Amino acid sequence: MDIKGDQMFKVILVDTTNTHTSAMAEGILKKKLPNDLKKMIVLRSVGVYAFQGDPCTIEVESSGQEFDVDLKGHEATPLTREMLEEADCIVVMDQVNLKIMQDTVPSKEIVIFSDYQSDETINEIPNPKNHNGAFYRKVWVLLDECADNFIEYLNQKLIK
């Protein structure tokens, strides 16, 4: 996972292919993380069934521009056993991957990113694949709120 020192808090963001929601979440979190937390956290998005090197879709890249997130160089990374073992926190984007992670590594801290937003009717981050630009924007807005609240959680957990 390219960890620089054991003292770093390791967070992996998990979806299925690592070309949509987990990559989007990584981009927005890296943009928003305050400098003090950036020095304490290793943040990486991965996909349970990702193909190494796959890029984000054109729709993800172009829709991210409104949120000042550049994913043009993103390359999908498959999730490995080593990543799971090293992770301090596993953040999943959807219910399917939540179940997979709970079955695979039940002793790890596993959270679903959608828990960090205010609409109780939303129980996962929807995959925008095959939707229009308005839907991509809706997902970015949701990820933006989740990122703000997840950063607050990390701040409380790591800085106290």
Residue range 70-79, pLDDT digits in tens: 999 999 999 9
Q: In this structure, is residue 4 part of a structural domain?
A: no
What CA–CA distance (Å, rounded) separates 6 from 40? 10
The CATH number that applies at residue 59 is: 3.40.50.2300
Per the CB < 8 A criterion, the answer to whether 67 and 88 are in contact is no
Q: What is the pLDDT of residues 18-49, one digit of tens each?
A: 999 999 999 999 999 999 999 999 999 999 99
If one counts the domains in the chain, the total is 1
**92: pLDDT confidence band, cut at 50, 70 and 90?**
very high
What pLDDT is stored for residue 6 in this prediction?
58
Among 97, 152, 153, residue whose Cα is nearest residue 124: 97
Q: What is the pLDDT of residues 5-16, one digit of tens each?
A: 458 999 999 999
Among 55, 41, 50, residue whose Cα is nearest residue 12: 41
Q: In this structure, is residue 51 part of a structural domain?
A: yes
Q: In this structure, is residue 1 part of a structural domain?
A: no
In which residue are the tokens 């970015």 written? 140
Q: In this structure, is residue 2 part of a structural domain?
A: no
What CA–CA distance (Å, rounded) separates 110 from 33? 20
- SS3 state of residue 114: helix
Per the CB < 8 A criterion, the answer to whether 125 and 46 are in contact is no
Q: State the residue range of the domain holding 134.
A: 9-158
Model confidence, pTM:
0.94
